């Protein structure tokens, strides 16, 4: 079934009116709807009932952000996208959202909200900040550099999923991080996951002794991100 679904995704994506190269106009706000899946996932975009392809869009810009195979039985309900106060063609330059100014969020829901509003993926650092030497090296050698800070402020939402041994955490954050650890099958630290606003994994990395510039380029290649 998964093989068939993948084939449908690959062949069906071009059935949509807006090509990936932007050669056609993006869909209007009235064409995009909010779909609630039965597993609790919320998707904003367009659904092709013939191919079962769901194309997700940034609701502020109507820019396409990805495709998903969705069976009709997975859909719980859908409704038109609520009117936005901002024009749908406005540029996605909302750099004042949480997690987009070099600040690391510890709230996954807040990271998802920023990701959905901006169209940027979430970079999650699974780390042991007060005991894991490779985690500490990753932050010192990569994440605290001007190169990374500049790149991140333009391309991703930052989130820290920390598993400390001494530093205090709220029960809410601890439960959330344990859930994320299970969801993304984290078996070691540091693990860097890049996911979209629906939780779909775009790429994975970790500590590499290659310097900030090369580390960023490597991650961009793995996760298909912008390198500048």
Nearest to 125 by CA among 190, 59, 47: 190
Same domain, residue pair 52 and 122 = no
Residues 7, 172: Cα–Cα separation, whole Å: 40
- Taking residue 75's Cβ as centre, other Cβ atoms within 10 Å add up to 17
Residues 124, 6: Cα–Cα separation, whole Å: 26
Per the listing, tokens 């609630």 go with 36
DSSP state of 145: S
Instruction: Determine the structural domain holding residue 59 and report its residue range.
Output: 2-80
Count: domains in the chain: 2
In sequence order, what are the residues at sequence separation of 6 or more whose Cβ sits closer than 8 angstroms to the Cβ of residue 4? none
Same domain, residue pair 65 and 116 = no
**What pLDDT is recorded for position 221?**
94
Same domain, residue pair 70 and 141 = no
In sequence order, what are the residues at sequence separation of 6 or more whose Cβ sits closer than 8 angstroms to the Cβ of residue 23? none
Out of 80, 99, 116, pick the residue that ends a domain: 80
Chain segment 63-108, per-residue pLDDT in tens: 777 777 888 888 888 877 665 433 333 333 455 677 787 789 999 9
**What pLDDT is recorded for position 94?**
52
Instruction: Report yes or no: 181 and 124 within 8 Å, Cβ to Cβ.
Output: no
**What pLDDT is recorded for position 103?**
86
Out of 30, 60, 80, pick the residue that ends a domain: 80
Residue 172 located in a structural domain: yes
For the chain, the 3-state helix, strand and coil shares in percent, each to the nearest 5, are 35, 25, 40
Residue 160 located in a structural domain: yes
Determine phi and psi for 46, rounding to 5 degrees: -125, 140
| Low-confidence residues in the chain, pLDDT < 70 | 1-30, 40, 59-61, 81-96
Same domain, residue pair 112 and 187 = yes
Residue 164 located in a structural domain: yes
**What pLDDT is recorded for position 185?**
96
Residues 59, 44: Cα–Cα separation, whole Å: 7
Per the listing, tokens 């392809």 go with 53
Same domain, residue pair 158 and 66 = no
Q: Where are the beta strands (DSSP E) in 21-154?
A: 33-37, 42-48, 53-58, 63-69, 75-80, 122-127
């Amino acid at each position: 079934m998964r093989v068939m679904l993948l084939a449908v995704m690959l062949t069906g994506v071009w059935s949509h009116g807006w090509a990936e190269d932007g050669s056609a106009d993006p869909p209007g706000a009235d064409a995009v709807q909010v779909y609630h899946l039965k597993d609790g996932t919320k998707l904003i975009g367009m659904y092709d009932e013939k191919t079962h392809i769901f194309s997700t869009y940034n609701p502020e810009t109507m820019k396409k952000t990805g495709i998903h195979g969705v069976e009709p039985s997975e859909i719980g309900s859908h409704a038109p996208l609520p009117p936005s106060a901002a024009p749908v063609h406005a540029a996605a330059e909302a750099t004042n959202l949480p997690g987009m100014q070099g600040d690391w969020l510890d709230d996954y829901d807040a990271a998802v909200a920023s990701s959905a509003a901006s169209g940027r993926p979430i970079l999650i650092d699974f780390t042991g900040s007060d005991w894991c030497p490779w985690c500490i090296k990753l932050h010192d050698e990569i994440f605290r550099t001007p190169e990374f800070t500049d790149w991140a402020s333009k391309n991703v939402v930052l989130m820290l999923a920390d598993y400390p041994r001494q530093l205090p955490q709220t029960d809410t954050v601890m439960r959330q991080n344990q859930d994320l650890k299970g969801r993304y099958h984290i078996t070691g630290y540091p693990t860097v996951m890049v996911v979209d606003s629906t939780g779909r994994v775009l790429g994975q990395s970790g500590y590499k002794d290659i310097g900030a510039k090369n580390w960023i380029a490597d991650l961009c290649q793995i996760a298909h991100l912008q390198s500048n």
